[in-house]
Amino acid sequence: MKALFLLLALALGQGTTVSAGPAVIECWLVEDAGGGRLSKRPAALVLRQGPGRLPPRPDLDPELYLKVNDPAGALQAAFRRYPQSAPAPHCEMSRYVPFPASANWAKDLSPEQNCPRSLDGTWFMVSMSSPVLGVSSLLRPQSEPQPESAPITMATVVLTVLTHTPITRVQLGKDALLDLSFAYMPPTPEATTSLAPGPPPFGLEWRHQHQGKGQLLLAATPGLDGQMPAARDGAVAFAAWDDNEPWGPWTGNGTLWLPAVRPFQEGAYLATIHLPYLQGQVTLELVVQKPPKVSLMPRPLVWAVPGEAPPELLCLVSHFYPSEGLEVEWELRGGPEGSFQKAQGKSWLSALRQHSDGSVSVSGHLQLPPVTSAQHGARYACRVHHPSLPALGRSSEVTLEVAGHSGPSLEDGVGLFLSAFLLLGLLKALGWAGAYLSASKESKKKVQ
């Protein structure tokens, strides 16, 4: 019975998953038009077909109306998980020619420089990107469009490289994990039988680009001997096939781990999977942030005399990153009408102060105008906006106390009590001194 419930729940979960995400991806075929110009033609990828026949697309060349066959299932699974609230992915296609890897460390992946005849024919490289998904797929279309309800071309997915975290945000000093997975199905039976059973050797390459500079961060060829370049910045990759089926399809993992990230590690990361004569690449962005700490001085109270300006307010915004995008606002909460408004006065920011971990600090200053007794109890707040903070930002506030406005406080009562006690003691001492002097004079008179 438990097994039956488990199968039912699994079936319901799969049914819910299949219904999500787009069924058709609108795309553009980008080609070289000569003279340094590019041309674009519309295309479409049918990932899954609903009930009934495919709708005709007279706006498309039948060779660019592609019904996708995905033996490994990675591409279709990625779009089954695609959130309905996410924007449609941007999709571009280009023609692809198989070729051996050019890097010296990957030369053993392609023992022959000439591409096998089994890889001849038309290939498309499809790149899709959105805030929630990055995909690169190699598609091999059939030579002739199929005479279905609408002229359409069948295309088989051979290699898919994807990430579910195309934009990764990590706090400064924390570890970063850049997700990468891939799937491969040999394009022809000949390509399968020419290799030993099991997944083929592959190469994993991670490159880092930041501020116009690029460098090889990590390279690996699991299962192959050869000299590999040393990894940089402590990077570690989980480079391995996930299964060991004899003839495919196969899925693999190439996730990158970066320990204790620093500011210089933000930027674009290019992840490339190299197979014999085939490559797929996706781009990920690493955003390093650290939210600021906000404190306001003097606090919790600021004192002022009617007609005079209160002491200068100092807003300390400390240990944040990046320095760009910081805004400091001054607010007056309360006041004569109990309003919430921009504080009046002269404000400015200090120069940035650098810290050893790459974070920065700055102080905001507010010089207030003279106050009136009606402003007693008003609250001045320093509100900070930064890309690492929620939309409302982060704030700190102080309360204005205007002298002579409020009734006696506890401290005033204690002071009055002590003053009265001292005054009473002084009067008693004077009385005792007067009585003593009077007694002394009377005793002197009696002696005389």
**Look-up: residue for tokens 């990153």?**
321
Q: Is the pLDDT of residue 13 over 50?
A: no
Angle, CA 106 vertex, CA 102 and CA 108 arms, to 5°:
110
Q: List, for residues 173-196, the tens digit of each pLDDT value.
A: 999 999 999 999 998 765 555 567
* 13-27, 133-147, 328-342: least confidently modelled range: 13-27
Residue 94: per-residue pLDDT? 96
State how far the Cα of 292 lies from the Cα of 317, in Å rounded to an integer. Answer: 6
State how far the Cα of 350 lies from the Cα of 149, in Å rounded to an integer. Answer: 69
Q: Is the pLDDT of residue 410 over 60?
A: no
**Of all residues in the chain, what percent carry a pLDDT higher than 90?**
54
Residue 344 tokens read as 């009046």
Quick one: average pLDDT of 298-307? Answer: 82
Q: List, for residues 367-392, the tens digit of each pLDDT value.
A: 999 988 888 888 899 999 999 999 99
Residue 50: per-residue pLDDT? 75
**At residue 373, what are phi and psi to the nearest 5 degrees?**
-65, -20
Q: Is the pLDDT of residue 417 over 60?
A: no
Residue partners of 1: CB distance under 8 A and separation at least 6: none
Closest CA to 183 of 103, 74, 326: 74
Residue partners of 146: CB distance under 8 A and separation at least 6: 67, 152, 153, 154
Residue 16: per-residue pLDDT? 36
State how far the Cα of 276 lies from the Cα of 272, in Å rounded to an integer. Answer: 13
State how far the Cα of 93 lies from the Cα of 348, in Å rounded to an integer. Answer: 51
Residue 233 tokens read as 């910045």
Global pTM exceeds 0.95: no
Residue 6: per-residue pLDDT? 38
Mean pLDDT of the chain: 84
**Look-up: residue for tokens 């607010």?**
331
Residue 147: per-residue pLDDT? 62
Residue 178 tokens read as 């850049």
State how far the Cα of 238 lies from the Cα of 257, in Å rounded to an integer. Answer: 8
**At residue 441, what are phi and psi to the nearest 5 degrees?**
-65, -45
Residue 248: per-residue pLDDT? 83
Residue 296: per-residue pLDDT? 93
In the sheet with 301-304, reading across from the earlier edge strand, the strands are: 301-304, 394-402, 379-385, 327-334, 339-342
State how far the Cα of 349 lies from the Cα of 343, in Å rounded to an integer. Answer: 15
With H, G, I as helix, E, B as strand and everything else as coil, classify residue 366: strand
Q: What is the DSSP string of 7-71?
A: HHHHHHHHHHHHTSS-SEEEEEEEEEEETTEEEEEEEEEE----SSPPPP-TTS-GGGEEEEE-S
With H, G, I as helix, E, B as strand and everything else as coil, classify residue 16: helix
Compare 382 and 437 and report the one with higher pLDDT: 382
State how far the Cα of 165 lies from the Cα of 285, in Å rounded to an integer. Answer: 9
**At residue 429, what are phi and psi to the nearest 5 degrees?**
-65, -40
User: For residue 283, how far is the Cα from the chain centroid?
Assistant: 14
Quick one: average pLDDT of 110-138? Answer: 89
> Residue 90 carries which side chain, given as an amino acid letter?
H
Residue 314 tokens read as 């100092």
Angle, CA 371 vertex, CA 370 and CA 373 arms, to 5°:
150
Quick one: average pLDDT of 152-179? Answer: 96
Task: Count the Cβ atoms, other than its own, within 10 Å of residue 105.
Answer: 19
Residue 123: per-residue pLDDT? 95
Residue 108: per-residue pLDDT? 82
**Cβ contact 281:220 at 8 Å:** no
Compare 191 and 282 and report the one with higher pLDDT: 282
Q: List, for residues 66-107, the tens digit of each pLDDT value.
A: 999 999 999 999 998 899 889 999 999 999 999 888 888 888
* 22-31, 237-246, 346-355, 410-419: least confidently modelled range: 410-419
